[in-house]
Structure 1
Amino acid sequence: MNLRTNHHVLKVLTLLYLVVFTFSAINPLSRAVWVAEIIPVVAVLGLIWWVSREFVFSKTAYVLMFVWIVLHTIGSKYTFSEVPFDWFNQLIGSEERNHFDRVAHYSIGFFAYPIAEYLTRNQLMKPKLACIFSLFAIMSLAAGYEIIEWWYAALAGGEEGIAFLGSQGDVWDAQKDMLMDTLGATSAIILMGLQGRLSAPTPK
């Protein structure tokens, strides 16, 4: 494995993200929503760098983690229900609802990959058990985030609370978001299997 190359990938991805961050910070649709949405992104980015001081993830893991970071930052600029995403909505025949938030939730599941990778390479769990643990970790995180989302929306109230919640009138929005998180995690675990990582956990 080439730890130096993998760490270089982290630096490049971070620099590219700073461009997206700057773009999102310029005239967001709602400054209050932008601040609320960007805080967890910055926290996760900081956590990735902090962990990477002692543990360098694979290039695949870094790329997967930054997918959510970028998507969530874009969502913070427009609010998730207002992101220009018509091409995708038309593609799936659902023009009445903006599905950008569903795609972003799907990408949250990608974090199952680095979680399983960390547990496996540190020999804390066997690969298959690490995958199961990472799947349930993402499901728990998804449920916790929906509770926080509800709490903030109730606290903020008005248009700001509705924009942050992003349910777009769907009473099952929270459940569908959690499903997308779970499907994303499942996809990440399948990717690990296709890469042969469930038996030979070496960075790629």
Structure 2
Amino acid sequence: MPTALVALVVAGLAVSAWTPHDRTTWLLETVWVLLGLPLAVLFRRRFPLTNLLCCLLAAHALVLAVGGHYTYAQVPVGDWVRDGLGLARNPYDRFGHLMQGFVPAVLVREVLSRTSPLRGSRWLAPLTVCACLAFSALFEMFEWAAAVIGGHSADAFLATQGDVWDTQWDMFCALIGATLSVVLLSRAHDRQLDALRSEGSGSEGPGKDVR
């Protein structure tokens, strides 16, 4: 990941960690960034990512940092949208789960294209979407576990805002995000993957592990 994007994400995390609404919620929301960013930096020479993926990962990290700071039900920009459009709830949570499908779709697609025989296969798109939906379901189980363990203290993390169908909506938003990502970004992503391979950085072939 480019140094400028790493610095941007680190700065976003630092700002979001300053007196968050709920410290536990902040940690639960940003744990993916806290784990993923060091890995992206550590392996950026052995497995360099496309610029498209790096930018999307950075954007998603900032979305998570904002949600962690305010809690998804209380992000100010979500309140403005809710009031402006006359919605019943703060929509930032829906946006966050849309991103939960949109960004991981490019990550999954990149890993599968570079390390499996699926490059150029008609199965790449549906398997990418299925992987993102599976991750969304896993995340909902993670939220469920947090609710069982934390009780009412996990309410800010769940951000259901009184919607009994919140879990289903979250997974549906992730499904929409992953599908849109595959439809809208596949061609641009393929061009960047081809450029990466031509530069010799992505010389791993289909079905081969990156060494």
| Partner residue, 1:154 | 148
| Partner residue, 1:3 | none
Aligned length: 193
Measured in 2, the distance between the counterparts of 1:196 and 1:36 equals 30
Measured in 2, the distance between the counterparts of 1:150 and 1:47 equals 27
Once the two structures are superposed, residues 129-166 of structure 1 have per-residue CA deviations (whole angstroms, 9 ceiling, x without a partner) of: 222221111100000100110110121112x2111111
Measured in 2, the distance between the counterparts of 1:45 and 1:201 equals 21
1:125 alignment partner, SS class: coil
Measured in 2, the distance between the counterparts of 1:54 and 1:75 equals 32
How far off is 1:31 after superposition?
1.4
| Partner residue, 1:47 | 39
1:29 alignment partner, SS class: coil
How far off is 1:33 after superposition?
1.8
Structure 2 unaligned segments of length 5 or more: list them.
Answer: 197-211
Asked whether the equivalents of residues 125 and 182 of structure 2 are also in contact (C-alpha less than 8 Å), the reply is yes
| Partner residue, 1:181 | 174
Alignment of 1:68 onto 2:60: yes
1:71 alignment partner, SS class: helix
1:163 alignment partner, SS class: helix
Alignment of 1:18 onto 2:10: yes
How far off is 1:179 after superposition?
0.8
Measured in 1, the distance between the counterparts of 2:22 and 2:83 equals 26
* CA RMSD in angstroms, aligned pairs only: 2.1
Asked whether the equivalents of residues 22 and 69 of structure 2 are also in contact (C-alpha less than 8 Å), the reply is yes
Q: Percent identity?
A: 28
Asked whether the equivalents of residues 57 and 203 of structure 1 are also in contact (C-alpha less than 8 Å), the reply is no
Q: Which amino acid aligns with 1:178?
A: M
Alignment of 1:138 onto 2:132: yes
Q: TM-score normalised to the size of structure 1?
A: 0.85
Q: TM-score normalised to the size of structure 2?
A: 0.82
How far off is 1:90 after superposition?
3.7
| Partner residue, 1:164 | 157
Q: Give the stretch that moved more between structures: 73-82 or 31-40.
A: 31-40
